[in-house]
């Protein structure tokens, strides 16, 4: 029993000693020193209203070509990706059948015209009934129509490019059977292209046909000025947005369909804008942009922001801040969210 009391007493003494040491350590912890910063109160200014959209590039023209007569393909003269000129021969089918049909049509026309010449004299002398004369005139007209049709079919054995452009699809090969109306080639014209963007219902009234737009295509690092040429009056049922096309010159052919295009359209009006000095902006390792604002307790609060551009030495903020916020403009690189600050 005495041994038990002795051990219990020792345990109590050790516990009290530990608590006393911990208390002394807490008392010796140095106080947190607030970070010295400079702040600036945000004010709302005016700037030109600019609408920004992202869309895709489309070709000005896209056509599918095919033969209008059936036959065996005898030659294919172009490949996918090849640049072709308007009027260039693309492919042909065996014309033997159609050449023979033209010979037959020529012979029929010559026979009908010869008959007409001989009977016309009799008709003028009154020796040929009008009914018989009208019949030979009809035969001549039919023979001429047959020849015209045969000539057209011979021409249709060759397929020509209706415009200059790039062959994006070749769907026939030599020796294959061509069917009337079946696609043989697809050609796009990219000498001029469109940047197509979707504009919400709330903003469609701010733009008009003929208005200029600044278009940036990051894939090829190009910035161009285009013109709004098409505003589709029918809104998308699901998104309630309108399709708008901005025409762009593409003489060098570097802009290709499917590329991402960012468009900026100035409305010519002024709107309120929140700006902060460029030095107030902080970007972390995850490429997130933010600033620090102060609250009434001298604490730094981290706020994520969305910037839309520059105006002089200031950044235009579209989301994250409001007029009256006090933004840290110096000393912010040493801060963490909730850190104590001094002005």
Convert the pLDDT of each residue in 177-191 to its tens digit.
999 989 999 999 888
- Residue 4: its pLDDT value, please? 44
Are 338 and 32 within 8 A, CB to CB? no
Q: Collapsing DSSP states into helix, strand and coil, what is residue 106?
A: helix
Judge contact between 245 and 215, C-beta under 8 A. Answer: no
Q: Tokens at residue 13, please?
A: 């003494």
Q: Pull the structure tokens for residue 60.
A: 């000005």
Question: Do 76 and 110 fall into the same domain?
Answer: no
Q: Is 43 within a domain? A: yes
Residue 333's pLDDT is what? 81
- Same structural domain for residues 87 and 165? yes
Which one is predicted more confidently, 212 or 23? 212
Per-residue b or e along 24-43, where b marks 16 or more CB atoms closer than 10 Å to that residue's CB: eeeeeeeeeeebebebeebe
Phi, psi of 124 (to 5 degrees): -70, -30
Question: Are residues 88 and 161 both part of a single domain?
Answer: yes
Sole residue written with tokens 């106080």: 31
What secondary structure letter does DSSP report for 68? S
What is the per-residue pLDDT for 22? 53
- Among 21-25, 131-135, 225-229, the range scoring the smallest mean pLDDT is 21-25
CATH number at residue 88: 2.40.50.100
Express each pLDDT in 76-95 by its tens digit: 999 998 999 999 999 999 99
- 333 in the same domain as 263: no
Q: Look at residue 332 in the predicted model and tell me its pLDDT.
A: 81
Is 338 contained in some domain? yes
Q: What is the mean pLDDT of residues 257-273?
A: 86
The SS3 of residue 193 is strand
**Whole-number Cα distances in Å, 273 to 113, 213, 254, 317:** 85, 21, 36, 7
Q: Please report the sign of the dihedral spanned by the C-alpha atoms of residue 96, residue 102, residue 105, residue 111.
A: negative
- Cα 17 to Cα 14: distance, rounded to the nearest angstrom: 5
The reply to whether 176 falls in a domain is yes
> Hey, what are 146's tokens?
């047959």
Total residue length of the chain: 343
pLDDT band at 28 (very low <50, low <70, confident <90, very high): low
Residue that is written with structure tokens 């050609």 in the block: 187
Q: Which of 113-117, 119-123, 217-221, 310-314 has the lowest mean pLDDT?
A: 310-314
What does the pLDDT average to over 278-285? 85
Q: What is the pLDDT of the chain when averaged over all its residues? A: 85
6 falls within a domain = no
User: What residue numbers bound the domain in which 331 lies?
Assistant: 35-47+272-342
Q: Count the domains in the chain.
A: 4
Residues 285 and 237 both lie in one domain: no
Residue 266 in contact with residue 48, Cβ under 8 Å?
Answer: yes
Phi, psi of 320 (to 5 degrees): 110, -25
The fraction of the chain above a pLDDT of 90, given in percent, is 44
From CA 133, how far away is CA 116, in angstroms rounded? Answer: 8
Percentage with pLDDT > 70 across the chain = 90
Q: Do 235 and 326 belong to one domain? A: no
Q: Are residues 278 and 235 in the same domain?
A: no
CATH number, domain containing residue 131 = 1.10.287.470
Q: With H, G, I as helix, E, B as strand and everything else as coil, classify residue 332.
A: helix
pLDDT at residue 126, rounded to an integer: 80
* Residue 212 and residue 268 in contact, taking contact as beta carbons nearer than 8 Å: no
Domain shared by 295 and 250, yes or no: no
Identify the pLDDT of residue 12: 46
Answer whether residue 98 shows pLDDT above 90: yes
User: In terms of domains, do 199 and 125 share one?
Assistant: no
DSSP class of residue 30 equals P
> Angle CA(169)–CA(87)–CA(72) in degrees, nearest 5?
60
pLDDT confidence of 103, banded at 50, 70, 90?
very high
CATH number reported for the structural domain that contains residue 204 in this entry: 2.40.30.170
In 3D, which of 58, 70, 67, 59 has the Cα closest to residue 185?
67
Handedness of CA 177, 179, 183, 187 (dihedral sign): positive
Which residues pair with residue 81 across a beta bridge?
Answer: none
């Amino acid at each position: 029993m005495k041994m038990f009391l002795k051990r219990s007493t020792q345990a109590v003494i050790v516990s009290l000693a530990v608590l006393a040491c911990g208390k002394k350590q807490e008392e010796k912890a140095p106080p947190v020193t607030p970070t010295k910063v400079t702040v600036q109160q945000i004010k709302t200014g005016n700037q030109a209203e600019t609408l920004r959209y992202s869309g895709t590039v489309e070709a000005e023209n896209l056509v599918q070509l095919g033969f209008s007569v059936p036959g065996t393909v005898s030659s294919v003269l172009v490949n996918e990706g090849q640049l072709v000129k308007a009027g260039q021969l693309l492919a042909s089918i065996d014309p033997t059948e159609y050449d023979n049909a033209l010979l037959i049509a020529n012979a029929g026309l010559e026979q009908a015209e010869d008959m007409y010449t001989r009977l016309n004299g009799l008709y003028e002398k009154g020796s040929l009934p009008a009914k018989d004369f009208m019949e030979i005139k009809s035969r001549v007209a039919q023979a001429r129509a047959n020849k015209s049709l045969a000539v057209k079919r011979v021409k249709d054995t060759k397929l020509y490019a209706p415009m200059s452009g790039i062959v994006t699809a070749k769907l026939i090969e030599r020796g294959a059977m061509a069917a009337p109306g079946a696609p043989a080639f697809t050609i796009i014209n990219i000498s001029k292209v469109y940047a197509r963007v979707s504009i919400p219902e709330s903003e469609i009234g701010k733009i008009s046909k003929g208005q200029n737009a600044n278009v940036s295509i990051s894939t090829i690092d190009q910035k161009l000025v285009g013109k709004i040429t098409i505003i589709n009056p029918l809104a998308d049922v699901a998104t309630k947005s309108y399709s708008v096309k901005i025409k762009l010159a593409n003489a060098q052919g570097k802009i290709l369909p499917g590329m991402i295009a960012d468009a900026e359209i100035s409305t010519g009006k002024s709107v309120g804008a929140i700006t902060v000095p460029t030095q107030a902006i902080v970007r972390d390792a995850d490429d997130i942009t933010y600033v620090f604002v102060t609250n009434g307790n001298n604490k730094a609060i981290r706020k994520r922001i969305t910037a839309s551009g520059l105006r002089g030495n200031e950044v235009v903020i579209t989301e994250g801040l409001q007029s009256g916020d006090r933004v840290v403009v110096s000393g912010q690189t040493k801060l963490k969210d909730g850190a104590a600050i001094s002005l």
